[in-house]
Amino acid sequence: MPKKMAAAVLYGKEDVRVEEVDIPSLAAGEVLIRVEAALTCGTDAKVYRRGYHARMITPPTVFGHEAAGTVAAVGEGVSEFAPGMAVVAANSAPCETCEFCRAGRFSLCEDLLFWNGAYAEYARIPARIVQKNLLRLPEGFPFRKAAIVEPLACAVRGVAACRIAVGQDIAIIGAGSLGLMLLQLATRQGARVVVADRKQGPLDVAMRLGAAAVVLADEGDLPELLLDRSPGGRGFPLVIEAVGRVETSAAAVAAVRKGGTVNLFGGCAAGSNLTVDLQRFHYQELSLIATFHHTPASVREAYRLIVEGVIDADNYIVGEVGLSQLPGVLADIAAGRRIHKTIVLPRSAK
Ligand SMILES: [Zn+2]
Ligand SMILES: [Zn+2]
């Protein structure tokens, strides 16, 4: 076993360096995985732009949280995993003892434990995640396809919370990877989905993945264009916002019909405020809901969808790079030049 590895280290705002660092040592219950494939995520691009993440990351640190790999070593007391096994880890695990966990609201856990460090040759998975959210992959299953388990688990929860009916008309705002996952899960439940985005490229993918129609719109005219596409021009019974901006959240509220539901699925920055016409909200009995993150159950459902080939990560993957190219890729995502996911191969010479 080598002692050193290559890893991307986040130092601060737009400062990521690929360096040689120590391979993490293991405490009891922990597992070291050799990362075979990591995927970029919009959250990592946000972290790159801001230089930190309030709940997940304080620099300098390794980061990245979507990865699949091979078990390289196990800590004391680990019996379910052994070196050589192919695995995928979710990026967190709840405590299962706090008030929220006891009520089954695992994404609201007061002690949600995060794991980071996917952009490295090796990654240490904390004991609690090993116990609750490390899953063994079938022999030979492609690592890059498995690595999508975390975002897909969030999408699984987002769609489940919306209680979609067969034949229901839905609008999804945002055709990023998560918007597309929401689209595929909603159409599987029999919904007729209209997808809106500012860029044509992602909308072409949405059409290929089963969107009934797409709306190419800037934020300004988005509500009007969505209403035009809604049944009878009266709005959609369900609108899912998958961007995480005030303007698109406002458009979602504008495009929902009487008695309808808006799911604010995208996460906005602190201090983002949305103004809602409360008269309309009350007399039209609108529902505003939000779903954040995943739970051990939605992680398992996402795993099943991936392994059974229902959801194929390749639909959201736009390229493949080695670690050295990661800083440039993150800059591209942060600037909106690269919308979907890039595979990062930590042991590639690229
Ligand atoms: Zn992610
Ligand atoms: Zn908890």
pLDDT at 336 over 90: no
Q: How many domains are contained in the chain?
A: 2
Q: How far apart are CA 5 and CA 331, in angstroms?
A: 23
Would 156 be classed as within a structural domain?
A: no
**Judgement on whether residues 136 and 179 belong to the same structural domain of the protein:** no
Q: How far is the CA of 22 from the centre of ligand 1 (A)?
A: 25
The CATH code of the domain that includes 282 is: 3.40.50.720
Co-location of 235 and 324 in the same domain: no
338, 332 Cβ separation under 8 angstroms = yes
Residues 68, 141 within the same domain: yes
Neighbours of ion ligand 1 (CB under 5 A): 41, 43, 151
**Residue 134 corresponds to which tokens in the numbers above?**
């490390």
**308 inside domain:** yes
Q: Which residue has the higher pLDDT, 326 or 269?
A: 326
Q: Does a structural domain hold residue 350?
A: no
- Same domain for 204 and 223? yes
Which of 250, 265, 289 corresponds to the end of one domain? 289
- pTM for the structure as a whole: 0.96
Whether residue 46 lies inside any domain: the answer is: yes
pLDDT digits (tens, 9 = 90+) for 77-95: 999 999 999 999 999 999 9
**257: CA distance to ligand 1 center in Å?**
31
Return the minimum-mean-pLDDT range out of 58-62, 129-133, 294-298. Answer: 58-62
Domain-embedded: residue 114:
yes
Q: What is the pLDDT of residue 229?
A: 96
Centre of ligand 2 from the C-alpha of residue 182, in Å: 26
Please tell me the distance between residue 97's alpha carbon and the centre of ligand 2 in angstroms.
5
Which structural domain range is residue 316 located in?
A: 4-151+294-345
Model pLDDT, residue 52: 75
Q: Which of 261, 289, 317 delimits the end of a domain?
A: 289
Confidence class of residue 110 from pLDDT cuts 50, 70 and 90?
A: very high
pLDDT digits (tens, 9 = 90+) for 298-325: 999 999 999 999 999 999 999 999 999 9
Is residue 29 pLDDT above 90, yes or no? yes
In this structure, the answer to whether residues 62 and 140 fall within a common structural domain is yes
User: How far does residue 105's CA lie from ligand 2's centre (Å)?
Assistant: 8
pLDDT at 145: 97
The mean of the pLDDT values for the chain is 95
Task: Write down the pLDDT at residue 54.
Answer: 67
**Do 327 and 258 belong to one domain?**
no
Percent of the chain residues past pLDDT 90, beyond the cut: 89
Band the pLDDT of 349: cuts 50, 70, 90.
low
pLDDT in tens, 187-231: 999 999 999 999 999 999 999 999 999 999 977 799 999 999 999
167 and 130: one domain? no
Q: Is residue 219 part of a domain?
A: yes
13 vs 56, more confident:
13
Co-location of 14 and 131 in the same domain: yes
HSE-CB at 192 with a 13 A cutoff on CA atoms is: 10
Whether 157 is in a domain gets the answer: no
User: Are residues 306 and 219 part of one domain?
Assistant: no
Together in a domain, 183 and 223: yes
- Report residue 226 as tokens: 């969505």
At residue 180's C-alpha, the angle toward residues 341 and 320, to 5°, is 15
Bridge partners (DSSP) of residue 88 are 68, 135
Nearest to 301 by CA among 158, 124, 141: 158
Q: Answer yes or no: is 211 within a domain.
A: yes
Q: Where are the beta strands (DSSP E) in the chain?
A: 4-12, 15-22, 31-39, 61-62, 67-74, 86-89, 92-93, 113-114, 122-125, 134-136, 169-173, 192-197, 213-216, 236-241, 256-264, 287-289, 317-322, 341-345
Kindly indicate the confidence band of residue 243, based on its pLDDT and cuts at 50, 70 and 90.
very high
Across the range 10-38, mean pLDDT stands at 96
The verdict on 166 and 251 lying in the same domain is: yes
